[in-house]
Structure formats: structure tokens, C-alpha cells
Amino acid sequence: MNTWSTALIIARKDLSLYRRDRTGLLLGLLLPVVLVAVFGSVMKFAFGGEGGMPRVTLWVADEDGSPESQKFVGALRNVSMISVRPRANQDPATAAALRGKVNDGEAHHALLVGEGFGEALSEAKEPPLVLVRDPGRLMEDRLIGIAMMQAMMSAGDGRSMSWMMGSMMRRNGMSEQGVKRLQASMEAVQSVIGMFAGGSDPELRSETAPAASADNFDMTAMFEGMVPVTKEDVAPPDRPKNLGFQLAQSVSGMCVMMLMFGLMACSSMLLVERDQGTLRRLLVSCAPRHALLLGKFLFCFVVGFLQLIVLFAFGELVFSIGAFRDPLTLLALATTWVAAATSFGILISVWAKSTKQAEGLATLLILVMAALGGCWFPVQMVELPWYGEVITRSTLTFWAMEGFQGMFWHQKPLTDPVMLRAMAVQWGFVVIASFAAVRLWRRRFLGT
Amino acid sequence: MTESADLLVVEELRYAYGDRVAVKSASLTCRRGEILGLLGPNGAGKTTLLSCIAGLLPSFGGKLTFDGQPFWPADDAPSRSRLGLVPQELALYGDMTGAENLQFFARMQGVESAQVAGAVQRGLELAGLVDRASDRVSAYSGGMKRRLNLAVGDLHSPELLLLDEPTTGVDPQSRNHLFECLHALRDRGRTIIYTSHYMEEVQRLCDRIVVVNEGVVIGIGTTAELAEQAGKPGANLEEAFLAMTGRSLRDEA
Ligand SMILES: Nc1ncnc2c1ncn2[C@@H]1O[C@H](COP(=O)(O)OP(=O)(O)OP(=O)(O)O)[C@@H](O)[C@H]1O
Ligand SMILES: [Mg+2]
């Protein structure tokens, strides 16, 4: 027999088998499409800022209320790389409320525009600006620095450039005389540029400024510390100094996701037992029938718990994430997440007609939930439209991440409302999923 | 209460998988201490019938009586403990040893902890696997797995043992060993329902035979009685069976 024709026959047979394997088709074709769609839209919202930079939320309180301060805040709103909160149509926030938000970990940066801002600006003096921030959020910090400079320039009709420059040089040790000279020469240059660019036409200015900064991003980055602000750092005292936000995020994200995969493999043992016939034998034995399902749950729970502890121990050893700083909280969160992931796995297993189907659906759901719930990328920091918020919050992984990030990053205690809510949502799922699993178990396995 | 001579009475049993009727109407009695053969071609509904008796398919129609009492094993663990099932497939854990399989299923069958070791030993002897007890089941031959499959079903000394084609893929030696085992079990007081489509096997082993065809019980009795029912007095079981069921393939309905 000819090698090629034989190979062709084998390939045709395999293709027809592949076509019949619905689950394989689903995984092979649908999964990539779904993941690209999900991840793409998350990224679109995440990096929808200027020059493809992530859009960062900045909370602002205007305590001055002068025309100048209003103009400055308005200019901040126009900088496309940040989203200013509260929105223009919402109630303004007070400085105290914003300090509270940063303290609670709800916000990472808040800019307080102090009383006397307008006055200081008109006298070309350093304005009272306080930036309350989580110092661990380095990327956001740099972007906000640049955004403030852009806003200051645009609000000050370009004139602020000279005093900002002067202020920066003064902070860096230049003598008062040097500063004066620098400012004089800059003003001269400014007026020449103004003549050519069409003077103070605001339309033109707001269009050219961002474009220029996008093209010369690196140059702009040098000026990220240009606007003089008083920095007020708010970080949990126990957080490891070397722990970055992204690191904490990805360690907990991977742990959350891998646990789901691990537990799926365990819970599909129920289907393996059905296929190999041992389940029939167990069902005929005098063991209480629901004990079989409960036994599977316990098995998955124990394995899952060990997996999670090993994962965190590894994270602690290699990345020093401070996993075991608060053992009680870790225990509560781990128990909660293992229970939730176990009920998820068991529910899929009692629903599925075959092991392949169970694993196919589970892979799809786990990857999509991981992407949406923030295991791969911090969706928590992304500005999403309302339906995006609804979708991310309807994933199980979101609440697991909320809990683990609450512990690792924000160093919240177990009794913090955010932590309690995250755990309550997961336990709610455990109850509902277990109830559904028992019903399906009765119908599919016991025939009642 | 006096012991009735009939251990199990099945009346008008009916079961359908969705639209496909697998057992149309099955009525039979199984006497205490006998080996009752359940003979029928592929697809006749033998496995379905046994599954209904064992409580695996609880939504059947008809009535089961066990030892004079209505029988409902699906919802009642003590009822199930009076039964032992040896499924048609090899329902064993391949990654566990023979002894571990026996031990686990003994626990599941509610054998008291103190008696588990004894039950495991008896099971190994029944299966003829005493010297292979600590080998993994996946390393057993087909015949050894079949023998273990039987031993697991009998671990808790049930009153009624349901055997679903226990000799599939077994050589004559192992088959003989199995038959000896079954006779020994009957002598110990076990009642056995034995499913097969091998006539000579059933004729040799069983006290009475139930002939099932297309989900209907079409005859019950000894070989001689069945030959008479088929209108061929003095015929052997095969002739009687073919006369009752016809000669075409039966599993294509
Ligand atoms: N799970 C199932 N779903 C749907 N139909 C089924 C199922 N199991 C069996 N059947 C059908 O029920 C009928 C009886 O099957 P059953 O397995 O009881 O026959 P059997 O006598 O044990 O056959 P064999 O000797 O081949 O084991 C067959 O037509 C079969 O196709
Ligand atoms: Mg069968």
C-alpha cells in the first residue's frame, strides 16, 4: 500500500472523529475566539488612554473652588490618560472622604487641591496640592505626574511652564538667581512660540499639547515630577517593601486560576467512576448514596486546600509576598475559595455527559472567568462601563481575587467589610452550586 | 414470620430508556437457594432487568417482592445490603491492588471493621488470587480481573447475588473455577441469578432458566420444561431456545 494514500485515509478518519468530538471542536475553535474577545475588550478598556497607556483613575477634591482651580480640574478631565473621579456631573468629594478612600484601598491616588490654589497660581507661586497615594502603585504614580503637568500647562495657558520649571529647579538645588534667569529666558521663548502657534487659541492648544507629548513620551516622562505636590503616602505598614502591585496580583491570580484547574481534574473522577462501572457498584452497595457525592466533595476539598497552600508557600519562598503574615485570614480565604472552586468542579461533573465534555466546558469557563475576574490582569483598576462591572462581578474569580488582593496588597483584616463581602459571595455560590449539584446528581446518577 | 420459598418475585416489570423500551414485561420468581439462569440474546434486556432489581433504575413499572416484602432498594440501604451485584463491565480500580479493591468495597458494603480482613481473605481465596493480592489490578489478566469482579460482589455475603455475564473473555480453566465457586456459594446458601447468552453454560450451571427475548420473558423452567413449552419435548436447551426466539439476529431492533 502506498504511504501517501494510507496517510490520507488515516488523516480522513481522524478528521471525521475530530468533527464528531463536539467538545474538542468547542475547545479548538470557540475557546480561542472567546478568549481573544474577552481579553481584547478588557485590554481595550484598560489601555484606552493616551498613546495606548493604561487609563488611570484619579480622585480629585477641589477645596479652593476658585476659577483657576476649576480650570485646572477641568484640564485634568481632558487629559485622556486619566479618568478623574468624581465625574463632572457627580457630587464633588471632600478631602477627608478621599483620604478615607485611599486608606481603605478603594482608591490608589487622590489629589487634593487646597484653599489658595487660585491665588498662588496668579502669583506664580507653588500651589497647595496634596497627592494622597499608595506608594506601591508606581506605574499609576508616573502617569498621574505627567497628567498633572499637562493639565497645569493647559490651565495656565502655557505660562505655568516657566514657574513649574523654576520650582523644579529650585527643588533640585538651583539658586534663586539661576531660577529667575531661567524663567525669564523661558518666557521669552514662550512668547515666540505663542506668536507662531496662533497665540492663545485654546482649541489649537489643547490639540497640540497632547499630540506632542504622545510623540515625545520619553521627554514628557522626564517631567512627571514637575508639578510641585506634597505627597502623602498611605500604605499598610506590614506590606513587604519589595512587593509590587503587579506581583501581588499575578501571584494571587495564578493561584486562584490553577486551583480551579486542579480541582476540575479531581472532580471529574466522578465521571471516571461512572465510565469504569465502579459507580454502579457503589450505588448498589449499602453505603448511603449521597455519601458518594459528599465523599467526592471532601476529596476535592482536601486536595484543593493542599494545592493552594503549596502554591502560596512557593509564592512566599520565591517572591516574598507575605502570604503567611496573617494565617487566620489566609485560612479563611483559602477555605472559602477551595470550597467555591470545589462546588464549581462538582457541579460541572454532575452536569456533564462525559469526562471530555466536563473538561471542555470547565476549561472554557475557567479561562474566561480568570480573564474577566482579574487573574491575568488587574481588572479592578480598569475603568469599565457599567455592563463590564456587572460581568466582572458575576465571575467567581473576581471575588476570590478581591479577597486575596485585599489580604496581600491592602493588608485588610478578615473582619473588613470588603473581605467579608467577598467571602459571603463565594459561600453564596457554594450553597447554590451544591444545591444544584445534588439535584443534578439525583437526576443523572440516581435516576430519580 | 415463616420464610417463603420464593426469595424474589418480579411482577410485570417494565422499563424504558426514554422512548426505547428495554424491558416490556418481565415476570419471574427466584427460589431461595437456586441458581436461576437469565438467558437471552444481545439487547434482550437482561442487564436492564438486573439493574431494576438492584435499584439502579428506580423509575421502572411493576412490582418487586423480596422475601415476602415489597422491595425498594433504590431508597433503602438495608435492602441493598441483601443484594450483591457483579456488573457486566470490570468495575474495579486498576491502580489499586486486588486486596485494596476488596478492602475498599468491603467497607462500602458495611462489613464491620473487625471483619474486613477476614472478608478480604475469603474474597482472595474465592478469586484464586491469594498470591497476587498485592499486585495492581491493571497488571492482572482478563480472567483474574473477572474472578476479582465476582469476589467483590460477594464480599458481604448477600442473600441474592446478581451476576451479569461473569464469564465474558474467560478461558475454560477460569470458567471452570468460576462455576466451582458459584456451586460453593450456592452450597453456602446463596441464591444466584446468572445472566448469559451461552446456552451450554446456563444448561450446565443453572437449576432453572428464564428465557428473555426483546424485553419479554417468554419461558421459565428447567431445560426439560422449556423444551416442552417450545413444543419440542426432549430437545436440548439450544434447540428449545432457537424455537422460542427465532433464528434472526436480535440486537438490531
Ligand atoms: N443507557 C441506555 N440508554 C439507552 N438505551 C439503552 C441503555 N442501555 C441499554 N439500552 C437499550 O436497552 C435494550 C436492552 O439492553 P440491555 O443492555 O439490557 O441488554 P442485554 O440483554 O444486557 O444485552 P447484552 O447481552 O448485549 O449485554 C437494548 O436495546 C439497548 O440498546
Ligand atoms: Mg447486558
- Examine the domain organization and report whether A353 and A411 are in the same domain: yes
Give pLDDT tens digits for B195-217.
Answer: 998 888 898 899 999 999 999 99
- Examine the domain organization and report whether B171 and B145 are in the same domain: no
Domain final position from A212, A233, A254: A233
Give pLDDT tens digits for A58-67.
Answer: 999 999 989 8
> What total of structural domains would you count in chain B?
2
Pull the grid cell for residue A232: 502623602
If you count them, how many residues does chain A have?
A: 448
CB of B59 within 8 Å of a chain A CB? The answer is: yes
How many other C-beta atoms are found inside a 10 Å radius of the C-beta of residue B105? Answer: 26
Range of weakest confidence among A137-151, A431-445, B92-106: A137-151
Please indicate whether, in this complex, the C-beta atoms of B77 and A287 are within 8 angstroms of each other: yes
- Is A382 within the bounds of a domain? yes
CB of B116 within 8 Å of a chain A CB? The answer is: no
Q: How far does B97 lie from chain A, in Å, by closest CA?
A: 15
Of A332, A325, A339, the C-alpha closest to A403 is: A332
- Per the listing, cell 420464610 goes with B3
Q: Annotate B205-235 with b (16+ C-beta within 10 A) or e (fewer).
A: bbebbbbbbbbebbbbeebeebbbbbeeeeb
- Is A430 within the bounds of a domain? yes
In this structure, are strands B160-164 and B83-86 parallel, antiparallel, or unpaired? Answer: parallel
- Is A152 within the bounds of a domain? yes
Of B168, B153, B30, the C-alpha closest to A284 is: B153
- Examine the domain organization and report whether B6 and B116 are in the same domain: no
- Examine the domain organization and report whether A189 and A97 are in the same domain: yes
- Examine the domain organization and report whether A169 and A305 are in the same domain: no
Domain final position from A196, A212, A233: A233
> Does A199 have pLDDT greater than 50?
no
- Examine the domain organization and report whether B52 and B167 are in the same domain: yes
Hey, whose CA ends up nearest to atom 14 of ligand 1? B45
| pLDDT score for A160 | 67
Domain final position from B157, B182, B197: B157
Q: How confident is the model at residue A214 (pLDDT cuts 50, 70, 90)?
A: very low
Give pLDDT tens digits for B93-126.
Answer: 999 999 999 999 999 998 999 999 999 999 999 9
Ligand 1 atom at shortest distance from the alpha carbon of B44: 21
- Is A42 within the bounds of a domain? no
Whole-angstrom distance, CA of residue A255 vs CA of residue A308: 7
- Examine the domain organization and report whether A227 and A265 are in the same domain: no
Our CA angle for A359, A364, A370, nearest 5°, is 120
- Examine the domain organization and report whether B168 and B253 are in the same domain: yes
Pull the grid cell for residue A37: 474577545
Please name the member of A281, A287, A447 whose beta carbon is closest to the beta carbon of B91: A281
Return the top range by mean pLDDT from A191-200, A238-247, A341-350. Answer: A341-350
Helix (H, G, I), strand (E, B), or coil: what is residue A90? coil
> Does B194 have pLDDT greater than 80?
yes
Residue B164 zone, left/alpha/beta (φ > 0; ψ -120 to 50; rest): beta
Ligand 1 atom at shortest distance from the alpha carbon of B40: 21
Hey, whose CA ends up nearest to atom 16 of ligand 1? B45
- Examine the domain organization and report whether A305 and A435 are in the same domain: yes
Our CA angle for A286, A291, A295, nearest 5°, is 125
Q: Specify the DSSP element, H or E, that contains A131.
A: strand A129-133
> Does A223 have pLDDT greater than 50?
yes
Hey, whose CA ends up nearest to atom 5 of ligand 1? B17
If you average pLDDT over every residue of chain A, what do you get?
82
> Which range of residues forms the domain containing residue A322?
240-446
- Examine the domain organization and report whether B196 and B238 are in the same domain: yes
- Is A272 within the bounds of a domain? yes
- Examine the domain organization and report whether B102 and B227 are in the same domain: no
Q: Is B99 exposed, middle or buried (0-12, 13-18, 19+ CB in 10 A)?
A: buried
Q: Domain with A63 in it: what CATH number?
A: 3.40.1710
- Examine the domain organization and report whether A167 and A261 are in the same domain: no
Residue B136 zone, left/alpha/beta (φ > 0; ψ -120 to 50; rest): beta
Whole-angstrom distance, CA of residue B143 vs CA of residue B151: 12
| pLDDT score for B252 | 47
Please indicate whether, in this complex, the C-beta atoms of B55 and A277 are within 8 angstroms of each other: no
Helix (H, G, I), strand (E, B), or coil: what is residue A151? helix
Whole-angstrom distance, CA of residue B3 vs CA of residue B67: 7
Please indicate whether, in this complex, the C-beta atoms of A284 and B89 are within 8 angstroms of each other: no
A–B interface: beta-carbon pairs under 8 A? 64
Q: Best residue in A274, A283, A285 to probe B by mutation, most B CBs within 10 Å?
A: A285
Q: Kindly report the three-state secondary structure assignment for every residue of chain B.
A: CCCCCEEEEEEEEEEEECCEEEEEEEEEEEECCCEEEEECCCCCCHHHHHHHHHCCCCCCEEEEEECCEECCHHHCHHHHCCEEEECCCCCCCCCCEHHHHHHHHHHHCCCCHHHHHHHHHHHHHHHCCHHHCCCEHHHCCHHHHHHHHHHHHCCCCCCEEEEECCCCCCCHHHHHHHHHHHHHHHHCCCEEEEEECCHHHHHHHCCEEEEEECCEEEEEECHHHHHHHCCCCCCCHHHHHHHHHCCCCCCCC
- Compute the average pLDDT of residues A329-339: 96
Q: How confident is the model at residue A350 (pLDDT cuts 50, 70, 90)?
A: very high
> Which range of residues forms the domain containing residue B188?
1-82+160-253
Give pLDDT tens digits for B142-193.
Answer: 889 999 999 999 999 999 999 999 988 888 888 888 898 899 899 988 999 9
Q: Specify the DSSP element, H or E, that contains A109.
A: strand A109-113
Q: How far does A278 lie from chain B, in Å, by closest CA?
A: 5
Residues of B in contact with A280 (CB under 8 A): 51, 56, 85, 87, 91
Q: How far does B91 lie from chain A, in Å, by closest CA?
A: 5
- Compute the average pLDDT of residues A24-33: 76
Give pLDDT tens digits for B51-95.
Answer: 999 999 988 999 999 999 999 888 888 899 999 999 999 999 999
If you count them, how many residues does chain B have?
A: 253
Please name the member of A277, A278, A284 whose beta carbon is closest to the beta carbon of B80: A284
Torsion of CA A369, A371, A374, A378, to 10 degrees: -170
Q: Specify the DSSP element, H or E, that contains A84.
A: strand A82-85
Please name the member of A280, A281, A447 whose beta carbon is closest to the beta carbon of B105: A281
| pLDDT score for A211 | 42
Give pLDDT tens digits for A164-176.
Answer: 777 777 777 777 7
Question: Which residue out of B13, B14, B15, B20 has the highest number of ligand 1 atoms within 8 Å of its CB and is therefore the one to mutate?
Answer: B20
Domain final position from A182, A214, A233: A233
Please compute Rg for chain A using Cα positions.
Answer: 29
Nearest ligand, CA A353 = 1
Q: What are the two backbone dihedrals, phi and then psi, of residue A73, each rounded to the nearest 5 degrees?
A: -65, -40
Q: What are the two backbone dihedrals, phi and then psi, of residue A318, each rounded to the nearest 5 degrees?
A: -90, -40
Residues of B in contact with A276 (CB under 8 A): 89-94
Residues of B in contact with A448 (CB under 8 A): 58-59, 74
- Is A49 within the bounds of a domain? no
Residues with CB under 6 Å of ligand 1 are B 17, 20, 22, 40, 42-48, 88, 197
- Examine the domain organization and report whether A142 and A221 are in the same domain: yes
| pLDDT score for B2 | 57
Asked whether the beta carbons of B160 and B7 are under 8 A apart, the reply is yes
How many other C-beta atoms are found inside a 10 Å radius of the C-beta of residue B131? Answer: 8
- Examine the domain organization and report whether B100 and B185 are in the same domain: no
Longest dimension (CA), chain A: 96
In this structure, are strands B208-213 and B35-39 parallel, antiparallel, or unpaired? Answer: parallel
- For residue B155, what is the nearest residue in chain A, using CA coordinates? A285
- Is A228 within the bounds of a domain? yes
- Is A295 within the bounds of a domain? yes
Whole-angstrom distance, CA of residue A53 vs CA of residue A118: 31
> Does A198 have pLDDT greater than 50?
no
- For residue B76, what is the nearest residue in chain A, using CA coordinates? A286
Helix (H, G, I), strand (E, B), or coil: what is residue A358? helix
Q: How confident is the model at residue B47 (pLDDT cuts 50, 70, 90)?
A: very high
Please name the member of B57, B80, B94 whose beta carbon is closest to the beta carbon of A285: B80
Whole-angstrom distance, CA of residue A374 vs CA of residue A391: 12
- Examine the domain organization and report whether A277 and A181 are in the same domain: no
CB of B161 within 8 Å of a chain A CB? The answer is: no
- Examine the domain organization and report whether A227 and A137 are in the same domain: yes
Give pLDDT tens digits for A71-105.
Answer: 889 989 988 888 898 888 889 999 999 999 888 88
- Examine the domain organization and report whether B52 and B129 are in the same domain: no
- Examine the domain organization and report whether B135 and B164 are in the same domain: no
- Examine the domain organization and report whether B12 and B71 are in the same domain: yes
- Examine the domain organization and report whether A207 and A75 are in the same domain: yes
Q: Specify the DSSP element, H or E, that contains A129.
A: strand A129-133
> What total of structural domains would you count in chain A?
2
How many other C-beta atoms are found inside a 10 Å radius of the C-beta of residue B55? Answer: 25
- Examine the domain organization and report whether A311 and A216 are in the same domain: no
- For residue B77, what is the nearest residue in chain A, using CA coordinates? A286
Q: Determine the distance separating the centroid of ligand 2 and the alpha carbon of B212, expressed in angstroms.
A: 12
Range of weakest confidence among A149-153, B116-120, B137-141: A149-153
- Per the listing, cell 478623574 goes with A84
Of B31, B15, B12, B35, the C-alpha closest to B23 is: B15
